[in-house]
């Protein structure tokens, strides 16, 4: 196929150039009806179209959308590729609806995004959570170990699927081939949330994609690492044909809008071509450029990179910078933000810089330098931390048969420091990265509760927790029945 073409973009341009009269949605009428106060923001509205002749239909693609998706499948080496206009969240829901049925036992990597949890609730599957390995020095996840997966299939030989998250926000990528082969040996489908790996096919400088290793369905968030608009992604059908493209198309129609944004679709068309052009760039050129950028960022902030164990590959687009001794990552992040430098993620010990394929300006590096220097100059080095892992291991954990109904009963609000042994009525999720610390229905106790309290005290953001009028942290619990 002609990878230099842009089927959706070219069709939108041709339509706009014909100066059409619009008696259809959307209400801005090809961008001609716009309030003056929003004109600059909505400048691309002339390309914000609907399913007109020549522009195809995302839920029944036969024209330019079908062509753009086929070009994407060719680039990634998948059997079929689907454009997502609800981000990888929609992709995760779609792949679960397409692959699993009510009552299916499915093995799930526990440090998984909340959208996977919600997909399992929708389909009423029965998850068995598996702990990933954790790095002793940093507390960061190293992904699933094949021995843990083998033990899980021994205990649950009829498990219908395995769901993995790789890579995470930190860009650390675990070996996955043996894990996928183990699942296939037991007849299970493999679903991979690879949201942060849309760029992996760009060259050998990046880790292998789960798609190339035999996963059946793989979700990529195009807007995270490629120049696509927010809420865009790809869902790939791979493997040996266990799941059909028709199943995915049907599930996608259930989850995604029936009025998809053509601006989002056009940006996916462009992102695919951008990736194709990266694939034609020599690995040595990409590697040198990214190494120079990483070195410049670390040097500007006088920061050290967190290096994972040898068997873990890192994504060169991400820098896991260690916070200076005596400071949290959240403190460093706040000082950088005051200099208008906004990072992807912070935790107790780290700040994650998310790079692009373009070099940084001198002005950007100077801002990083000022922010890090002000942190050290204006604040005493006092914080030592608890040393508790960001997500304490829980062991293999099978959820109750009715787990997806948890939190539907009568609830009450309670101070977080007084919830020991109470039942959570809401998911409690550090965000980012969006990995639930407690699920609805779980008992609030133990090391995880300590981690939650310390994160809040040090400035970390958490969904499912809010400040009360007296300044206390509150959450929602299941109200106990009177006896």
DSSP code string of 256-315: S-SS--HHHHHHHHHHHHHHHHHHTS-HHHHHHHHHHHHHHHHHHHT-EEPPPPTT-EE-
Minimal CA–CA distance to 169: which of 327, 303, 317, 341? 317
Residue 387 has pLDDT above 90, yes or no: no
Three-class DSSP category at 443: strand
Domains annotated on the chain, with CATH: 7-279 (3.40.640.10), 283-378 (3.90.1150.150), 406-478 (3.90.100.10)
Residue 424 has pLDDT above 60, yes or no: yes
Average pLDDT over residues 189-203: 97
Average pLDDT over residues 111-140: 96
Question: In this predicted structure, what is the pLDDT of residue 216?
Answer: 97
* Cα angle: 295, vertex 300, 301; to 5 degrees: 105
Output the six-digit token pair for 374.
Answer: 């002000």
Question: Which residues fall within 8 angstroms of residue 48, CB to CB, at 6 or more apart?
Answer: 26, 28, 31, 261, 262, 263
Which H helix or E strand runs over 455?
helix 446-457
Output the six-digit token pair for 196.
Answer: 């942060």
Name the pTM for this structure: 0.95
SS (HEC) of 97-160:
HHHCCCCCEEEEECCCCHHHHHHHHHHCCEEEEECCEECCCCCCEEECCHHHHHHHHHHCCCCC
pLDDT-based confidence at residue 392 (cuts at 50, 70, 90): confident
Output the six-digit token pair for 336.
Answer: 């950088």
Place of tokens 């005290």: 457
Question: In this predicted structure, what is the pLDDT of residue 98?
Answer: 98
Residue 388 has pLDDT above 60, yes or no: no
Q: From residue 313, how far is each of 370, 475, 482 by CA, in Å? A: 31, 38, 53
What is the rounded CA–CA span in Å between residue 425 and residue 475? 8
Which range among 270-274, 295-299, 452-456 shows the weakest confidence by mean pLDDT? 452-456
Q: What is the DSSP string of 371-433?
A: HHHHHHHHS----------SS----SEEPPTTGGGTT-S-EEEEEGGG-TTEEBSS-BEETTT
What is the rounded CA–CA span in Å between residue 218 and residue 419? 38
212-269, pLDDT tens digit by residue? 999 999 999 999 999 999 999 999 999 778 899 999 999 999 999 999 999 999 999 9
What is the rounded CA–CA span in Å between residue 298 and residue 126? 44
Contact (Cβ atoms closer than 8 angstroms) between residue 464 and residue 426 = yes
Which H helix or E strand runs over 329?
helix 329-338
Residue 390 has pLDDT above 70, yes or no: no
Question: Which residues fall within 8 angstroms of residue 283, CB to CB, at 6 or more apart?
Answer: 203, 204, 205
What is the rounded CA–CA span in Å between residue 436 and residue 440? 10
Residue 386 has pLDDT above 60, yes or no: no
Report the chain's terminal Cα–Cα distance, integer Å. Answer: 70
Helices 87-99 & 114-123 angle (0-180, nearest 10): 30
Question: In this predicted structure, what is the pLDDT of residue 408?
Answer: 84
């Amino acid at each position: 196929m002609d990878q230099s073409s842009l089927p959706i973009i070219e069709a939108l341009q041709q339509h706009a150039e014909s100066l059409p009269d619009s008696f259809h949605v959307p209400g801005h009428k090809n961008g001609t009806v716009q309030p003056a106060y929003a004109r600059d923001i909505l400048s691309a509205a002339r390309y914000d179209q609907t399913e007109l002749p020549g522009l195809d239909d995302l839920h029944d693609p036969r024209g330019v959308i079908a062509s753009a998706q086929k070009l994407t499948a060719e680039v990634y080496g998948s059997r079929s590729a689907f454009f997502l206009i609800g981000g990888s969240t929609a992709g995760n829901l779609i792949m679960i609806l397409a692959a699993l049925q009510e009552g299916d036992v499915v093995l799930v990597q526990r440090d998984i995004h909340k959208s996977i949890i919600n997909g399992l609730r929708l389909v009423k599957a029965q998850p068995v959570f598996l702990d990933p390995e954790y790095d002793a020095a940093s507390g960061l996840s190293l992904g699933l170990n094949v021995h843990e997966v083998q033990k899980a299939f021994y205990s649950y030989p009829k498990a219908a699927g395995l769901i993995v998250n790789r890579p995470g926000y930190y860009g650390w990528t675990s070996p996955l081939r043996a894990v996928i082969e183990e699942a296939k040996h037991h007849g299970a489908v493999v679903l991979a949330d690879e949201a942060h790996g849309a760029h992996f096919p760009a060259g050998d400088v990046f880790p292998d994609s789960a798609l190339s290793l035999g996963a059946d369905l793989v979700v990529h968030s195009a807007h995270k690492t490629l120049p696509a608009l927010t809420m865009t992604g790809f869902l790939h059908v791979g493997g040996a044909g266990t799941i059909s493209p028709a199943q995915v198309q049907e599930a996608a129609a259930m989850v995604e809008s029936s009025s998809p944004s053509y601006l989002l679709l056009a940006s996916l068309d462009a992102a695919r071509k951008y990736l194709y052009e990266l694939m034609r760039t020599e690995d040595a050129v990409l590697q040198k450029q990214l190494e120079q950028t990483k070195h410049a960022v670390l040097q500007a902030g006088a920061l050290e990179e967190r290096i994972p164990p040898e068997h873990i590959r890192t994504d060169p687009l991400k820098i896991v910078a260690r916070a200076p001794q005596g400071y949290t990552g959240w403190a460093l992040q706040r000082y950088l933000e005051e200099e208008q430098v906004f990072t992807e993620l912070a935790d107790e010990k780290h700040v994650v810089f998310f790079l692009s394929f373009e070099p940084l300006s001198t002005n950007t590096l100077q801002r990083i330098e000022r922010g890090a220097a002000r942190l050290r100059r204006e604040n005493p080095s006092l914080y030592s931390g608890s040393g508790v892992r960001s997500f304490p291991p829980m062991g293999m954990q099978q959820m109750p048969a009715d787990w997806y109904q948890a939190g539907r009963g009568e609830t009450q609000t309670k101070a977080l420091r007084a919830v020991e042994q109470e039942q959570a009525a809401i998911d409690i999720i550090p965000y980012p990265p969006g990995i639930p610390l407690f699920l609805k229905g779980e008992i609030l106790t133990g090391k995880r509760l300590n981690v939650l309290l310390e994160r809040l005290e040090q400035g970390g953001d958490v969904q499912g927790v809010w400040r009360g009028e007296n300044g206390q942290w509150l959450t929602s619990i299941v109200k106990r029945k009177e006896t």
